[in-house]
Each structure stands twice: as structure tokens, then as C-alpha cells.
Structure 1
């Protein structure tokens, strides 16, 4: 597995904009690390990869989601996310059905490049960039 994101402190807000998320920031030894959208895109455009997401909440609950297919569009496509073949221990972390959508094809959003299609900037409200 390749670590692409780590957030060890939920109180840390990521003041990073689009260019930082594109290129990556932090290191694996820090509380906040992001591999980079462009490096992720370069990897997954060369061959098929699986995606595994592990989440441990501050209350100790632990969840694992795994997707048999994972790919991204390029930067011109706003690094739109495509996943399929979910298995997991709780619920699909990318299933936003309460909001009326599952973001297959959802574009990446940051505080300075809002692509979530909602009236609010989810990246600003949630403390960092993601496929909201």
C-alpha cells in the first residue's frame, strides 16, 4: 500500500490551497501528510490500483473501506474521483446519500478551488481538501 493521506490530529486545520494539494505536503512522520493529487494521478493513470481507507476516530472506533477500482481524472478534470467495488466494515465512506449523491466523478475541492457543487465551501467548513 502507498500512504496518500494522514491526519493524526483532528483539530489541525489544513490551510493548504489547490497547489499544495496538487503537489503534496508534509511527510509521513508528521501529523498532517498529503501525497499529492498529481503524483496520485500519475500512479493510477499508469495501471489499475485498489484504494484502502482506514479511519480511526478519536473515540477509538475503527473503520476500513476498500475499493477494487480507483482512478482520478487529470488536473483539467479537477482530479475527479472514480471508485467502485466497495467492501468495508461500516459504510462506504464516499456514500453521501444523505446529501443525495454518491460522488463517483466528484471533483476535488479546496478552500481556494471549490468544486463541490454545493452552496457552501465544504473544504473550508471541514478543514481541508477532499472529494466532497
Structure 2
């Protein structure tokens, strides 16, 4: 009799168990670990389930990729000049463009990502002569908007590009309508893109898209990485991407 009663109550008990919450990926490493190993556009949730964000994930599984293990969340990408990066503060804050092509993930999304985990940064770039290099940094984060989305990087790891980003370390983000640089002028206005300007730049990934040599233009106008191609050369492509630090690198 007792056995029969327990048997009848089992379905009721099963129904009363709490439903397991669906796993929401915060970044591309989460997506990779959940079984999606191919590069492409995915949805992440850096601010929780109410705020899905489209992002390009560079998983590093394609033939010929040199991505040091992949699982990269792309926060910025320039490749053909189809998207205008000369934008006001509110658009740099929220993000713009198309994750399948050129885009900016958004300062608030980048802050939320780097606030929850410790990340490394890799910057891939290509010139118009098919040269490819990168610059890697052992840590990357930005402060909240109340602190100007200030940039924090450390320990440049050589990938052939040289370290153009150290000049911008510990600087606030600036746009033409929110000038937070250390210059007496407005760097974002002059160089037509938002970035962590100082006085003014060694790197300008979000500058005006041009094609190679820009010697007929003022210096530093274009998509610039000064320590690789100098300040009269605008790159064909540049990608900024981040990935959570592995346990080994966290302990190093």
C-alpha cells in the first residue's frame, strides 16, 4: 500500500521540481563551450536575458587561422569602409554597424563584458599588400561611463604590429561631441572617429577609411597603427577582439 502511494505521488513530485534555467552565453567562449565551434554571428547576453546583443565570434577553427585557440569576441571590425565610424557619443555607447561586416560592439557592452571576467585583447590587421600582423595584450578592460569608459591594458605581446596602444592606456574615450582627451583640440573631431585619444594618437582603428598611402592628406588621417605602417598609411582591415584569460594566464 505504501509502495503504491509513493508510485502515484512520483509524477506530482517530478512536476514540482524547479525548471532549470536556460544557459545564456555572456561571450563567444561560452558559445564555443556550448558546442558552436564555427566563426559567425551569434547572440550574447552581457547585460542579462533582457538585453541580447549580436556579435561576431572568431572561433579560430577555419583552415589557415592563426588565432591562438580562437573563442574571440569581436568588439570592433573594419574591412571595407561600408560603415561610417564618425559617430556621436550615444552611438559609440550603444554600438552600431553589422556584426557580419563592419561594426562597433558598444562601450556599454564592452564594459559589461570586462566587468564580469578578466580578458586579453588581440588586434589583427592587414595592409593593402596582403601583409598580416597582430598586437596582443595580456589584459584589457574599460571603466564604466561615469569614469569615461577609461581604457586599461597591460603587457604587450609581440605579433609584428608593434605597440601603438600603450600611448592610449589609461585614457578616457572621446567622440566629436564628448571630448575627453588631453589635447587642447578635439582629437575625435580632427581625426573623424571615436577612440581613447590622448594628445592625439598612435592608433586610430575607428578613423576615416582610406586606401593605403595617405601622403597627400594630413598625418594620422585614416585607419592607423603607427608602429607598423606609420602615420601616412591607412590599413585595409583591423579587428579588435577579446577573450577570457585562461586559468594558466590568470595564475601567471
Q: What is the match of residue 42 of structure 1?
A: 112
**Using a 3 Å threshold, how does the CA distance of structure 1 residues 29 and 11 change in structure 2: closer, same or farther?**
closer
**Using a 3 Å threshold, how does the CA distance of structure 1 residues 19 and 57 change in structure 2: closer, same or farther?**
same
Q: What is the match of residue 119 of structure 1?
A: 184
Distance (Å, rounded) in 1 between the aligned partners of 2:80 and 2:87 = 16
Corresponding residue pairs, total: 125
Measured on the aligned residues, the alpha-carbon RMSD in Å equals 1.8
Is 1:25 aligned with 2:90? no
- State the structure with bigger RCO (CA 8 A, min sep 6), 1 or 2: 1
Offset at 1:90?
2.7
* TM-score relative to the length of structure 1: 0.85
Decide whether the 8 Å contact of 1:54 with 1:64 is kept in 2: yes
Q: What is the match of residue 85 of structure 2?
A: 14
Distance (Å, rounded) in 1 between the aligned partners of 2:171 and 2:121 = 16
Q: What is the match of residue 93 of structure 1?
A: 164
* TM-score relative to the length of structure 2: 0.46
**Using a 3 Å threshold, how does the CA distance of structure 1 residues 12 and 46 change in structure 2: closer, same or farther?**
closer
Offset at 1:9?
3.2
Corresponding residue to 1:54 among 120, 124, 139: 124
Decide whether the 8 Å contact of 1:67 with 1:84 is kept in 2: yes
Q: Which runs of 5+ in 2 are unaligned?
A: 1-71, 198-252
Q: What is the match of residue 137 of structure 2?
A: 67
Measured against aligned partners, the alpha-carbon deviations of 1:13-34 in whole angstroms (never above 9, x if no partner) come to 423111100000111223x300
Distance (Å, rounded) in 1 between the aligned partners of 2:92 and 2:189 = 14
Decide whether the 8 Å contact of 1:13 with 1:127 is kept in 2: no
Distance (Å, rounded) in 2 between the aligned partners of 1:120 and 1:58 = 31
Decide whether the 8 Å contact of 2:137 with 2:157 is kept in 1: yes
Decide whether the 8 Å contact of 2:136 with 2:156 is kept in 1: yes
Distance (Å, rounded) in 2 between the aligned partners of 1:77 and 1:94 = 19
Offset at 1:11?
8.6
